[in-house]
């Protein structure tokens, strides 16, 4: 009777617990390094959308659009792109802004993660 109860008992061994703990900690550290890049991309996308949908920006020159982006980027502490990186397209649909950039995140030693972002904004 005692032997059958022991065979049915299951659980996590100490070595299994340590392996899963290490994997969970590595995933958390990786997430903490990657999440800020995605937050900054969302902020850039929001700035581009705000500028493209602003009625006052529809008839201005490219210089004024770049200046507006620079001011907004400075307020949001965005430093991965500059106003000169913006591709500005004016057509019959309105103003379209886009940027392509890369973020290199060092992981451990000489291993890094390269993220490519292409935020754009099309007038709705």
- pLDDT at position 7: 63
Which segments in the chain show pLDDT lower than 70? 1-9, 122-124
- pLDDT at position 2: 58
- pLDDT at position 8: 64
- pLDDT at position 1: 52
pTM (global) more than 0.85: no
Helix (H) or strand (E) holding 111: strand 111-117
Instruction: Give 44's contacts (C-beta < 8 A, 6+ positions apart).
Output: 73, 78, 80, 81, 99, 117, 119
- pLDDT at position 6: 58
8 Å CB contact between 79 and 108: no
Instruction: Give 80's contacts (C-beta < 8 A, 6+ positions apart).
Output: 40, 44, 101, 103
Q: Which two tokens stand for residue 123?
A: 């007038």
- pLDDT at position 58: 83
């Amino acid at each position: 009777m005692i032997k059958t109860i022991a065979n049915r008992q299951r659980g996590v061994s100490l070595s299994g617990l340590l392996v899963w703990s290490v994997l969970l900690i590595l995933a958390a550290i990786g997430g903490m390094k990657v999440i800020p890049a995605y937050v900054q991309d969302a902020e850039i996308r929001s700035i581009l959308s705000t500028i493209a949908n602003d009625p006052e920006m529809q008839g201005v020159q490219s210089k004024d659009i770049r200046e507006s982006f620079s001011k907004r980027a400075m307020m949001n502490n965005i430093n991965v792109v500059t106003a000169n990186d913006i591709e500005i397209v004016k057509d019959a649909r309105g103003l379209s802004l886009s940027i392509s950039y890369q973020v290199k995140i060092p992981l451990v030693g000489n291993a890094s993660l390269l993220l490519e972002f292409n935020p754009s904004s099309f007038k709705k």
